[in-house]
Amino acid sequence: MNKPSNIQSASCADAPVLKERGQREVFCGLTGIIWLHRKMQDAFFLVVGSRTCAHLLQSAAGVMIFAEPRFGTAILEEKDLAGMADAHQELDREVARLLSRRPDIRQLFLVGSCPSEVIKLDLQRAAERLTEEHAPHVRVLNYSGSGIETTFTQGEDACLASMVPGLPQTDARELLLVGALPDVVEDQAISLLSDMGIGPIRVLPAARADGAPGIGDNTVYALLQPFLGDTDAELAKRGAKAIRAPFPFGEEGTTAWLKAIADEFGVDEATFDRVTAAPRARARKAISQAAEVLRGKSVFFFPDSQLEIPLARFLTRECGMEAIEVGAPYIHMGLVRPDLELMPAGPTISEGQDVDLQLDRARAARPDLTVCGLGLANPLEAEGLTTKWAIELVFTPVHFYEQAGDLAGLFSRPVRRKEMLAV
């Protein structure tokens, strides 16, 4: 473990990073299927895993057993795990049955799990073989959703990264927005950018396979989520140019994100102000009202979603909170540095997790609000700490101006509840 020094710095971008490796408390990458299958209308996610994997997905999705969602599990039985059966042959049969029953599927993702990785099942080879068999109607891709070395938001990153090499080539100068957002939020972003005269605008992931964006040397892309490090690397390999900016959480982050894109496309200041002035004012007012109870309060982030650094920037700069520790499972410095540059020095920035040590630090600090995973929230609440479930910040619309007040409200409600119960 590397311990931070007492070096004083102007911003958190200059601060040393406390790196820990130990017992972790996170969901696995399979969780990303829950929002990806709703976003990609002609895709199907087939998890190659255990009955536990199937139970996790069913429980997390909250889907009735009578519904037919766009995900499922090819169960690895004991004979598969023991090497007594040809798992590849069984997978081929399951895929054939699925595609015959669901002719609407155009993209099929084979999603690896802890069991499939332990037995070294080669899903990449399976995807290549199945693509040859079922092309051109269906393209089969693969990625890992295993929780052995990843946290739950990396499932989306792995999924999008697997798509990039197969996207068509284009020479057109286009803006590509990267990351899965609720349709209403995505529409808001596209509307703001279009009103500035920016376009064509493409999105990854697209709603349907035939709407997949092209990639080339003239493609300019902006990430919507801070956990898309592998996708970012794959886009760079294709020659696309990244726009780096704080992520669009809150009024400040949204404005900075939009301004970086506007500058890239030569939008003048008058046009930018005309398009953003009204929603900026609404966002500032909504944040001010929702965050009244947060001002002067302290916050401690356990590593969970990889949203921690942009959210800490939002809470400290726009909601008046003091960050004690900002922990993230992985820190892609090239992606989150713009947010760190805005955060004043002071909090400990930590990467990775040794949950026992982090619990000790949180208990010693007694923060007014602790942002953590579900597994830690109830025990900490029992100890008198106020908590916020980190996973809710991924499932709830929180990006851009119109959601800025809702984002502040997600943090203020548990603090307000604690104060009301104390009366």
Q: Is the pLDDT of residue 3 over 80?
A: no
Helix (H, G, I), strand (E, B) or coil at 257: helix
Instruction: Identify the band that residue 370 occupies on the pLDDT scale cut at 50, 70 and 90.
Output: very high
11-31: average pLDDT: 87
Mean pLDDT on 121-143: 93
Give the pLDDT mean for 212-218: 97
Single out the residue of 268, 343, 380 nearest to residue 25, CA to CA. 380
pLDDT at 421: 81
Residue 6: the pLDDT is 38
pLDDT exceeds cutoff 70 at 9:
no
pLDDT above 90 coverage of the chain, percent: 74
CA dist., res. 325 & res. 226, Å (int): 18
Every domain of the chain with CATH number 3.40.50.1980 lies at: 29-150, 174-283
Q: How confident is the model at residue 181 (pLDDT cuts 50, 70, 90)?
A: very high
For the chain, give the percent of residues with pLDDT over 70. 94
- Domain spanning 29-150: CATH 3.40.50.740: no
Residue 199 to residue 193: CA distance in whole angstroms: 8
Structure confidence by residue, pLDDT tens digits, 141-164? 999 998 887 788 999 999 999 999
Q: Give the pLDDT confidence score for residue 14 in this predicted structure.
A: 87
Buried b (16+ CB within 10 A) or exposed e, 381-418: eeeebbbbbbbebbeebbbbbbbbbebbbbbbebbbeb
Quickly state the pLDDT bin for 79 (edges 50, 70, 90): low
Q: Is the pLDDT of residue 258 over 80?
A: yes
Mean pLDDT of the chain: 91
CA angle 309, 415, 307 (to 5 degrees): 15
Q: How many CB atoms lie within 10 A of CB 364?
A: 8
Phi, psi at 135, each rounded to 5° = -70, 155
What mean pLDDT comes out for the span 319-341? Answer: 96
84, pLDDT greater than 70: no
The token pair at 102 is 């669901």
pLDDT at 269: 97
Both structure tokens of 195: 């009103």
Rounded mean pLDDT, 184-190 = 97
CA 370 from centroid of its chain's CA atoms: 20
Residue carrying the six token digits 């548990």: 414
- Tell me if 144 sits within 8 A of 189, measured CB to CB: no
Calpha distance 265→220 (Å, rounded): 10
Count of alpha carbons within 13 Å of 165, Cβ hemisphere only? 10
Average pLDDT over residues 15-22: 91
Whole-angstrom distance, CA of residue 348 vs CA of residue 4: 8
Choice among 43-47, 287-291, 373-377 with the minimum mean pLDDT: 373-377
**Is the Cβ–Cβ distance between 32 and 394 less than 8 Å?**
no
- At residue 67, the pLDDT reads 59
DSSP assigned state of 11? B
According to CATH, the topology of domain 174-283 is Rossmann fold (3.40.50)
Tokens of 333: 């410095």
Return d(Cα 313, Cα 322) in angstroms, integer.
10
Short-list 370, 359, 351, CA closest to 4: 351
